[in-house]
Structure 1
Amino acid sequence: MVAWRRTGRRGRWLAGAAVVAVLAAAGVIIGVTASHRVVTLDEKHCGGGWAGPVAGHQSLTLRDAAPNPVQVYLIDPSRDLVYAEARDLTPGSRRAIDTTLGAGRYALRCVFTDGTVLTSPAHTLTGKVPGAVTGVKPMPDLDLGDPVTAYRTYVRDGLPGLLRDATRLAADVTSGDLTAAKRDWLPAHLDYERLGAAYNSFEDFDAEINGLADGLPEGVADPSWTGFHRIEYGLWHGQPAATLKPLTDGLVADIDGLIQDFASEDIDPGDLPLRTHEILENSLEFQVSGHADYGSGTTLATTYANTQGTQAVLGTLTSLITARNPALRAAIDAGLKTVQADLLACRDAGGSWTAATALPLPQRQRLDADLDGLLERLDVVPNLLYERTAA
C-alpha cells in the first residue's frame, strides 16, 4: 500500500461479464451504422428506441445535444437488468462505441442531474448472435453499506497488531540492536500492507507511515521522508541507531494517531469495489517491479500481503459479485491461488524472500503473466458493482 493512486488501467468495459458502456446522455443522438438509424434523447422523451435493428453488432456514434449531464442505461425493463451504459456524458461531447446485443426487449433510461428519470418505450431486437453481452442487476449504493462496515471492522481489528509490531521495531532500534530491527521490520510492514483498501481513509497518515521517496526534493535524503520505507533505507544502508530512533518513534506515534483517528474517518462505498483491482495493480507497478525496494529485498513479500488485502476486500463483496456474475468469484480465487503460489516460490530454503530484481527471467515472466491474468479478472469488479441506483 505505497502512495496508492488511481491509474489508467481501470477499464470501463465489462466484456463477457455484464455491462458495456454503450449509450449516451440527455440530448444524445445515436447513429446505428448497420441500420442507419438515429435516436435522439432529450429531457422530455429519453428517445423512442431505434426502428428495425436486429440482434448483433451495434456501432454507435454518440453526441450529447442536451444542456445537462446525464447517465443513460440500456435496460430490459421487464427484468430490471442493465445491458449497457454511458456515465456522466457532458453536453457537446461525443463517443463512438461498439457492442453486441442479443435478441430481447430493450429500452433506454435517462437519469438526469436534476433527479429526473425517464424511460423510453421498449423495443424488440430479433435474431441470434454469439458473443452478446449479458444483463446485470443494478446495485443501489446502499447495498455497499454492509461491505463497508465489514471492511472497517477488518481494518480496526488489524491496527492493534500493526502498533504492537511497530513498537517492537522501535524498541530494537532504541536498544541499538539493528540486526533485530531488520528482522522485525518486515512483519510490521506487512501488517500495514494487508490493510489494503483503507488507505484512502488514512488521509495524511498513509504518506507519513508508508510513503516513498518519489517526488521529494532531495529524494532519499529529504528530511521530510518518514515511515516504513525511510526506516528500511536506513537499516539496509548502514545508518546508525541514533539516526533511526526518531524515525521509529515517529512511526509508532503516527500509527497510534491513525488508530485514534480511524473511528472518525469514512470509507467511500464506491471505492471498495475499485480497490479489489487497484491494490494489486499498484503492487505490480511498485512491488513486483522492485521500484519500492529500499534495500530489504522484500517487495515480493509485500505483494503477497497485498493479495491477502485483496482477499479481505473481496470477502466483503462476495454476495454482491455472485448475484451479478456467479462464476467470477471462483475465477478470481483461482487466479489469486496461482499468484500466491508463484510468490511463495520466490523464497529460498530458509524462507528468505528473493529480491524482485533478482528473479530468474522465466520465473519473473510466469509471475507477470499470472498477475496480469488475475488483474484482468479483477478489472471486472469495479464496473460490475458500480452504483446504479436509478437504473
Structure 2
Amino acid sequence: MRRASWQVRLAVLPIATAVAVAAGVAQSHPAAAGGPIAVRATGCGTPPTTADAGRVDFAVTDDTNVFATVYLVDTANRVYAEIPWLTPGRTLPLATTLGAGRYAIRCVLSDGKVHTTSQFSVSGTTSDAVAGYKPLPDLDLTAPVKAYRAWLGTALPKLLAASQTLDADVARGDLRAAKTDWLTAHLDYERLGAAYNSFGDFDAAIDGTVAGLPDGTADKSWAGLHAIEYGLWHGSSATTIRPLTQALVTSVQGLIDDFPSEEVDPGDLPLRAHEILENTLQFQITATADAGSGTSLATAYANTEGTREVLSVLAPLIDDRTPGLRARLDTEISTLQSDLTATRDASGAWTPAPAITTAQRQRIDADLDQLLEDLSTIPDLLAPRTNA
C-alpha cells in the first residue's frame, strides 16, 4: 500500500553529512582544516597533524580500482563523517564539525583491505561540534531481527483469526458486523509495518490499493483488505464481497505458511522505525489510502503501535548509542496517540480524517512532525559500520 518510501533503498548518508551525492561539489564556506586525501591500495592518505575546532573538509579521491567506504573516526572509534560508497577515480567531500580531540581517517576497501591514517589533533572549542556515532557491526542487528520475527510469529495468527471472522460475517450476509470486523483485521495488518518488505506478493494480495491498477476500483485484480473496504462501504452485496474475503483468508494463510522461509532484512528495522510514520503522514493523515471506511486515523494509531514495537526490539542498540532517546520517543508516541484518540466521537467511532477540526489537525501535524524529526535519527544511528 504505502510502501513507496523504501521500495528504492538509498545509501545512508549520516552524521552531518559527509557525503554530497552529486559529484564532488566544493563547499561554499571556507574550510577550517582538511585538504586532499588519496585512497590507495597501500594507504589512506595523510591528514594535517593539527587543526582548530570547527569545520573540517577533506576531498577524498579513490585512486584504487575497487570501491571504498571512508570514515572520519576518533580514538574511541566513534564515526563523525563518512562516504558510504566511493567509486574508483571519483572525488567526494568528507566534511563535518569537530570539537577538541584526536581523529583519523579510515578507508575500508571492497577487496577487504582496511587502512587508517595517522591521527591528527583538534584543539579549541566550537558550539556546533557533531556528536559521533558508535559503529554498529552487522551482526549486532541479529538479535533485534530474531526478536521481531518472534513477535511476527505471534501476530500473524491473530491476523488470520480476524480475517476468518470477517469472512464468516460476509458468508452469512451480516455486512454490519463485517464492517466492524474488517477494521480489526486491517489494524492487525497495519501493526506489522516493519515487515512489509519481507512479505513479497502477499503484501499486495492482503493490503494493496488501487495505485497502479489500470482500471482503478473496477480492476478485477484488486484484492485484499482495501478492496473489501471499498465493497463494504460502497454498497456491494455479500455475494460480491465473499470471493474477496475468501481470498484474503487464503492469502494470510499462505503468508503464514511461507513466513519461515522469508527473511527480514536487518536494515529494514532502523529504516522502518522512521518510515512507518512517514508513510502515515503521507497516506493516513491525508486519508489518501482510505477506500470508504473513514478509519484512516485508526490506521494511523495502529502505525504508532507498529513503530513502538520496532523501537522495542532495537532498544538495546539505541540506548547504547543515545541514552534518553527512546524515552523521548515513547513520550512523543503517547502524545500523538492521545491526539488521534481525541478525534473519536462520543460513541467511540473514528472521525474521518477530512472531518476533524482545524485545531485537531494542527495538533496532530505538529506532534507527528516532531516525532518524525526524532525518529529520523535512527537509520543513521544504526547504520551498519562494521569496519569503522
Q: How does 1:210-249 map to 2 (within 5 A)?
A: 210-249=207-246
Q: How does 1:298-337 map to 2 (within 5 A)?
A: 298-337=295-334
Identity %: 52
Q: How does 1:255-266 map to 2 (within 5 A)?
A: 255-266=252-263
**149-158 or 356-365, which moves further after superposition?**
356-365
Distance in 1 between residues matched to 2:82 and 2:3, nearest whole Å: 32
Distance in 2 between residues matched to 1:29 and 1:5, nearest whole Å: 27
Aligned AA for 2:361?
R
Equivalent residue, structure 2, for 1:280: 277
Distance in 2 between residues matched to 1:206 and 1:359, nearest whole Å: 30
Equivalent residue, structure 2, for 1:58: 56
1:385 aligns with 2:382: yes
Equivalent residue, structure 2, for 1:6: 6
How far 1:10 moved relative to its partner?
A: 8.5
Deviation per CA, 1:19-39: give whole Å up to 9, x if none.
3332799xx999973357333
Distance in 1 between residues matched to 2:51 and 2:122, nearest whole Å: 6
How far 1:322 moved relative to its partner?
A: 0.8
Aligned AA for 2:17?
A
Distance in 2 between residues matched to 1:233 and 1:372, nearest whole Å: 30
Aligned AA for 2:138?
D
Aligned AA for 2:16?
V
Shift in alpha-carbon separation, 1:196–1:37, aligned structure 2, 3 A:
closer
- The question of whether the paired residues in 1 share the 8 Å contact of 2:35 and 2:47 is answered with no
TM-align CA RMSD: 2.4
1:134 aligns with 2:139: no
Equivalent residue, structure 1, for 2:168: 171
Aligned AA for 1:170?
D
Distance in 2 between residues matched to 1:44 and 1:130, nearest whole Å: 37
Equivalent residue, structure 2, for 1:359: 356
- The question of whether the paired residues in 2 share the 8 Å contact of 1:29 and 1:40 is answered with no
Aligned AA for 2:73?
I
1:150 aligns with 2:165: no
Distance in 2 between residues matched to 1:162 and 1:37, nearest whole Å: 57
- The question of whether the paired residues in 2 share the 8 Å contact of 1:23 and 1:72 is answered with no
Secondary structure at the counterpart of residue 20 of structure 1: coil
Equivalent residue, structure 1, for 2:288: 291
How far 1:67 moved relative to its partner?
A: 2.9
- The question of whether the paired residues in 1 share the 8 Å contact of 2:40 and 2:64 is answered with yes
Shift in alpha-carbon separation, 1:101–1:8, aligned structure 2, 3 A:
farther
Distance in 1 between residues matched to 2:25 and 2:106, nearest whole Å: 14
TM-score, structure 2 length as denominator? 0.93
- The question of whether the paired residues in 2 share the 8 Å contact of 1:13 and 1:383 is answered with yes
Deviation per CA, 1:284-306: give whole Å up to 9, x if none.
11111100111100000001000
Aligned AA for 2:340?
L
How far 1:362 moved relative to its partner?
A: 2.1
Secondary structure at the counterpart of residue 52 of structure 2: coil
- The question of whether the paired residues in 2 share the 8 Å contact of 1:193 and 1:309 is answered with yes
- The question of whether the paired residues in 2 share the 8 Å contact of 1:24 and 1:87 is answered with no
Secondary structure at the counterpart of residue 6 of structure 1: helix
Shift in alpha-carbon separation, 1:29–1:213, aligned structure 2, 3 A:
closer
- The question of whether the paired residues in 1 share the 8 Å contact of 2:82 and 2:94 is answered with no
1:20 aligns with 2:16: yes
- The question of whether the paired residues in 1 share the 8 Å contact of 2:81 and 2:94 is answered with no
Equivalent residue, structure 1, for 2:343: 346
Distance in 2 between residues matched to 1:366 and 1:62, nearest whole Å: 45
Equivalent residue, structure 1, for 2:109: 112
How far 1:3 moved relative to its partner?
A: 4.1
Shift in alpha-carbon separation, 1:39–1:2, aligned structure 2, 3 A:
closer
How far 1:333 moved relative to its partner?
A: 1.2
How far 1:341 moved relative to its partner?
A: 0.9
Specify which of 103, 120, 123 is matched with residue 123 of structure 1: 120
1:48 aligns with 2:70: no
Equivalent residue, structure 1, for 2:65: 67
Secondary structure at the counterpart of residue 109 of structure 1: strand
Aligned AA for 1:73?
Y
Distance in 1 between residues matched to 2:53 and 2:356, nearest whole Å: 50
Deviation per CA, 1:157-176: give whole Å up to 9, x if none.
01111111110110111111
TM-score, structure 1 length as denominator? 0.92
Shift in alpha-carbon separation, 1:29–1:364, aligned structure 2, 3 A:
closer
- The question of whether the paired residues in 1 share the 8 Å contact of 2:83 and 2:94 is answered with no
Structure 1: gaps of 5 or more residues: none
Shift in alpha-carbon separation, 1:4–1:257, aligned structure 2, 3 A:
farther
- The question of whether the paired residues in 1 share the 8 Å contact of 2:13 and 2:84 is answered with no
Shift in alpha-carbon separation, 1:115–1:253, aligned structure 2, 3 A:
same
Equivalent residue, structure 2, for 1:38: 36
**49-58 or 32-41, which moves further after superposition?**
32-41
How far 1:370 moved relative to its partner?
A: 0.9
Shift in alpha-carbon separation, 1:79–1:3, aligned structure 2, 3 A:
closer
- The question of whether the paired residues in 2 share the 8 Å contact of 1:110 and 1:117 is answered with yes
Shift in alpha-carbon separation, 1:239–1:210, aligned structure 2, 3 A:
same
